């Protein structure tokens, strides 16, 4: 049986639909404008007033000019490499660190967590960080963009907290069956932690995609 909708329900749904539609249009139109402007003659775009719904004198010269610049292609390739390799390393290191620190039998885990949390609030500063990383060989190479930032303390805490909610009985049962720590982590803990891993992976990917300061610091100028 379908319940009869009241006038208030209809008005509420209508207002919601109109509001969300306007929100979507306001969000997507700037992207559409940039796309249409890139397909138009620059002079025509400069003379145009108001909204843009179709290209002004369609042309592809802007794209040809952009891709003639070798830095565009190399920049996108580097970004994809940094995001792919960086996020994979981030996730692997964070998984292993979070799992180890979530185990109650790990000796000194509270001290380790204190040191990790301490780094979230206090830093040695940009110059000491630069000198340290340069002395380790992380300068003017791709490793500088990935290795020094392999683990984010906040994301490690998120995964550690999630691992602590998994019953210890699962680990104990696996050890009775002869499983080692790596088997327990990748065969039991990881499948159970997929929701938390998805969030952390997204955070790491966005961080790696948006990073700019690392390149400015660790790469020599032209």
pLDDT score of 124: 79
pLDDT score of 220: 66
List, in order of start, the domains of the chain with CATH numbers: 7-65 (no CATH), 70-218 (1.10.3720.10)
**Can you count the helices (H) and strands (E) in the chain?**
12, 0
Sign of CA dihedral 164, 167, 168, 170: negative
pLDDT score of 156: 93
Q: In whole angstroms, what is the distance from residue 216 CA to residue 206 CA?
A: 18
pLDDT score of 2: 59
50 contact partners, CB below 8 Å, separation of at least 6: none
Low-confidence ranges of the chain (pLDDT < 50): none
Tokens of 156: 């490690």
pLDDT score of 222: 52
Q: In whole angstroms, what is the distance from residue 16 CA to residue 42 CA?
A: 38
pLDDT score of 221: 56
């Amino acid at each position: 049986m379908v319940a009869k909708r009241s006038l208030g329900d209809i008005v509420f749904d209508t207002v919601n639909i109109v509001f969300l539609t306007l929100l979507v249009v306001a969000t997507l139109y700037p992207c559409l404008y940039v796309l249409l402007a890139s397909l138009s003659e620059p002079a025509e775009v400069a003379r145009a007033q108001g909204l843009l719904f179709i290209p002004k004198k369609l042309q592809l010269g802007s794209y040809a000019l952009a891709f003639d610049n070798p830095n565009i292609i190399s920049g996108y390739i580097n970004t994809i490499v940094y995001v792919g390799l960086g996020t994979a390393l981030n996730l692997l290191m964070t998984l292993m660190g979070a799992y180890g620190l979530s185990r109650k039998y790990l000796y000194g885990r509270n001290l380790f967590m204190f040191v990790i949390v301490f780094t979230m609030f206090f830093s040695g500063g940009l110059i000491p960080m630069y000198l340290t990383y340069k002395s380790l060989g992380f300068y003017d190479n791709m490793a500088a963009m990935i290795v020094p930032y392999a683990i984010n303390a906040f994301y490690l805490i998120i995964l550690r907290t999630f691992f602590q909610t998994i019953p210890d009985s699962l680990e104990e049962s696996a050890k009775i069956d002869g499983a080692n720590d790596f088997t327990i982590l990748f065969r039991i803990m990881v499948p159970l932690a997929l929701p938390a891993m998805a969030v952390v992976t997204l955070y790491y990917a966005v961080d790696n995609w948006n990073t700019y300061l690392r390149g400015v610091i660790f790469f020599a100028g032209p």
